[in-house]
């Protein structure tokens, strides 16, 4: 990547997280912050297409660089000029004008495009979802809702970085939404009021049959479009929850059936990868009345063990726990599901983890290569996307790729 040779990736993340970027406010001719963000998301081509036409930086004395919160650190004018002069001429395709070709559906519910936030820290408030919707995401799997008290540890994230400073793997020990059920229901209603065409997948976790049924019912009453059953969180402080359920097909069936009694909405069972084979749990979910599966949640992990204390990262007051691993290092193989013919059994399937956290060519290609099994089903992201504002232009360009021979299997 051209730009990565000009600025360290670890420095660029500060641009990706820059709110109301002063460089863009100072420019007035283009959106340097948006362009830099596309570069961060491995999308130099889209970045180069974001110029209005001729290079606006010619003969400009770069007020953007003076306005930057890291004054003098980001060579914006040089970077944008190189994108314009060196990357743009190599582009074969223009941005498609019509984003409608990205439309799809999930269990009969229409989606504007196949991109959803996955249930996680990035989809846990009204504002986060609203920002994501404004940026072009078709919907969100809201942070898992439960009826019990959640007390989170802090810090609860830790990352493994590669040579160039990018995050390649991410461990979290976060549990579920710490808002009350009533607060989350109010968020659903407000989101649906403001964004009626966006898709809300309500992720829930109960402690018993009654709670699974009741949560599913409440989510339907408060305008969720579909329900996701969290049988896969590896971080629960109490036993018998999350991935402990996903590892026991009988429990998967029982709790799916309970949720089914509470709602007529489509139900996805989010399964854990911490089993020898996900097929028994998927079959159990089907027997319980699920319409599809969501695969996968994070993987049980220990990273960054301190050689002196033997405590893994993240350490909280000198102690830590097994956590969930996600991010670019994770690739989910759907081959076993495909080969077992489960595609017919499960018309809907989401692939949160393996498709990766940073939308871009590489991961989009991974996504396409799995389409042979589950044709164009939605994908979602959480890691790294906390403040992501992937624009619909990024979607448009990758949609072109979707139609190419490489992906059209
Ligand atoms: C900080 C964090 C919190 C998460 N919380 C939830 C959750 O509440 N419910 C859930 O079903 N999955 C949760 N996940 C898992 C994600 O939804 C997703 O399945 C996983 O991170 C893999 O996708 P990714 O590689 O795009 O991160 C969480 C993940 C992270 C990183
Ligand atoms: S160049 Fe400066 S102002 Fe612009 S996005 Fe990056 S850090 Fe923010
Ligand atoms: S150098 Fe380019 S990005 Fe910066 S203010 Fe001028 S036109 Fe805008």
Q: Is 119 in the pocket of ligand 1 (CB under 6 A)?
A: yes
Q: How far is the CA of 77 from the centre of ligand 3 (A)?
A: 6
Domain chopping of the chain, boundaries: 3-90, 104-402
**Whether pLDDT at 404 is above 90:** no
Q: Under a CB-based contact definition with an 8 Å cutoff, are residues 281 and 271 in contact?
A: yes
Q: How far is the CA of 45 from the centre of ligand 2 (A)?
A: 20
Read off the pLDDT band of 94 (50, 70, 90).
Answer: low
Query: What pLDDT score does 70 carry?
Result: 85
Which residue, by CA, sits nearest to atom 3 of ligand 3? 32
Nearest CA to 231 among 206, 200, 264?
Answer: 206
What is the distance between the alpha carbons of residues 146 and 178, in angstroms, rounded to a whole number?
Answer: 8
Mean pLDDT is lowest, of 117-121, 130-134, 152-156, 360-364, for 360-364
pLDDT in tens, 238-276: 899 999 999 999 999 999 999 999 999 999 999 999 999
Query: What pLDDT score does 162 carry?
Result: 78
Residue 157 dihedral angles phi and psi, to the nearest 5°: -125, 150
Query: What pLDDT score does 328 carry?
Result: 76
Q: Ligand 3: which atom is nearest the Cα of residue 77?
A: 1
Read off the pLDDT band of 389 (50, 70, 90).
Answer: very low
Dihedral, 250, 251, 253, 254 alpha carbons, nearest 10: 110
Dihedral, 256, 258, 260, 262 alpha carbons, nearest 10: -140
- State the average pLDDT for the chain: 81
Which residue, by CA, sits nearest to atom 3 of ligand 2? 68
Mean pLDDT is lowest, of 57-71, 85-99, 336-350, for 336-350
Query: What pLDDT score does 334 carry?
Result: 54
pLDDT in tens, 202-240: 999 999 999 999 999 999 999 999 999 999 999 998 899
Read off the pLDDT band of 394 (50, 70, 90).
Answer: very low
Residue 223 dihedral angles phi and psi, to the nearest 5°: 80, 20
**Whether pLDDT at 309 is above 60:** yes
**Whether pLDDT at 301 is above 70:** yes
What is the distance between the alpha carbons of residues 259 and 266, in angstroms, rounded to a whole number?
Answer: 10
Q: Is 18 in the pocket of ligand 2 (CB under 6 A)?
A: yes
CATH architecture, range 104-402: Alpha-Beta Barrel (3.20)
Three-class SS state of 28 = coil
Q: Is 140 in the pocket of ligand 1 (CB under 6 A)?
A: no
Extract the tokens encoding 395. Answer: 């979607």
pLDDT in tens, 174-196: 999 999 999 999 999 999 999 99
* Active-site annotation holder among 233, 334, 349, 396: 233
What is the distance between the alpha carbons of residues 114 and 116, in angstroms, rounded to a whole number?
Answer: 7
Q: What average pLDDT does range 167-174 have in this prediction?
A: 89
What is the distance between the alpha carbons of residues 120 and 59, in angstroms, rounded to a whole number?
Answer: 45
Q: How far is the CA of 394 from the centre of ligand 3 (A)?
A: 22
**Can 233 be counted among the known catalytic residues?**
yes
Three-class SS state of 365 = helix
Q: What average pLDDT does range 159-188 have in this prediction?
A: 90
What is the layout of strands, in order, in the sheet containing 323-326?
Answer: 157-161, 167-172, 323-326, 299-301
Q: How far is the CA of 29 from the centre of ligand 1 (A)?
A: 38
pLDDT in tens, 24-81: 999 999 999 999 988 887 788 888 888 877 899 999 999 999 999 987 788 999 999 9
């Amino acid at each position: 990547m051209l730009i990565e040779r000009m600025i360290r990736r670890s420095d660029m993340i500060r641009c990706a997280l820059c709110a109301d970027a002063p460089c863009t406010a100072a420019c007035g001719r283009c959106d340097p912050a948006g362009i830099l963000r596309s570069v961060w998301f491995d999308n130099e081509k889209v970045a180069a297409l974001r110029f209005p036409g001729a290079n606006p930086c010619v003969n400009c004395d770069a007020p953007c660089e003076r306005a930057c919160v890291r004054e003098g650190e980001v060579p914006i004018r040089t970077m944008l000029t190189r994108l314009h002069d060196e990357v743009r001429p190599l582009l074969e395709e223009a941005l498609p004008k019509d984003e409608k070709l990205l439309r799809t559906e999930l269990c009969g519910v229409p989606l504007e495009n196949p991109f959803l936030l996955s249930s996680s820290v990035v989809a846990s408030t009204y504002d986060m979802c609203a920002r994501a919707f404004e940026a072009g995401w078709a919907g969100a799997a809201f942070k898992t809702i439960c009826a019990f008290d959640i007390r989170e540890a802090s810090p609860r994230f830790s990352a493994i970085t590669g040579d160039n400073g990018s995050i390649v793997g991410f461990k979290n020990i976060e549990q579920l939404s710490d808002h009350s059920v009533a607060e989350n229901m109010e968020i659903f209603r407000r989101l649906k009021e403001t964004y009626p065409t966006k898709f809300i997948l309500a992720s829930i976790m109960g402690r018993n049959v009654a709670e699974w049924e009741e949560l599913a019912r409440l989510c339907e009453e408060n305008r969720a479009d579909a329900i996701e059953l969290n049988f896969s969180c590896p971080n629960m402080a109490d036993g018998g929850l999350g991935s402990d359920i996903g590892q026991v097909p009988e429990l998967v069936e029982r709790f799916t059936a309970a949720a089914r009694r509470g709602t007529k909405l489509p139900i996805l069972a989010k399964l854990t990868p911490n089993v020898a084979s996900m097929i028994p749990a998927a079959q159990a979910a089907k027997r319980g009345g699920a319409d599809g599966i969501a695969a996968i949640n994070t993987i049980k992990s220990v990273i960054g063990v301190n050689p002196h204390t033997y405590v893994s990262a993240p350490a909280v007051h000198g102690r830590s726990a097994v956590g969930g691993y996600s991010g670019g290092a994770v690739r989910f193989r759907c081959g076993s599901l495909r080969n077992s013919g489960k595609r017919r059994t499960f018309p809907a399937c989401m692939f949160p983890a393996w498709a990766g956290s940073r939308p871009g060519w590489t991961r989009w290609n991974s996504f396409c290569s799995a389409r042979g099994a589950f044709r164009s089903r939605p994908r979602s992201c959480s890691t790294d996307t906390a403040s992501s504002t992937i624009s619909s232009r990024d979607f448009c360009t990758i949609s072109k790729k979707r139609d190419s021979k490489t992906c059209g299997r």
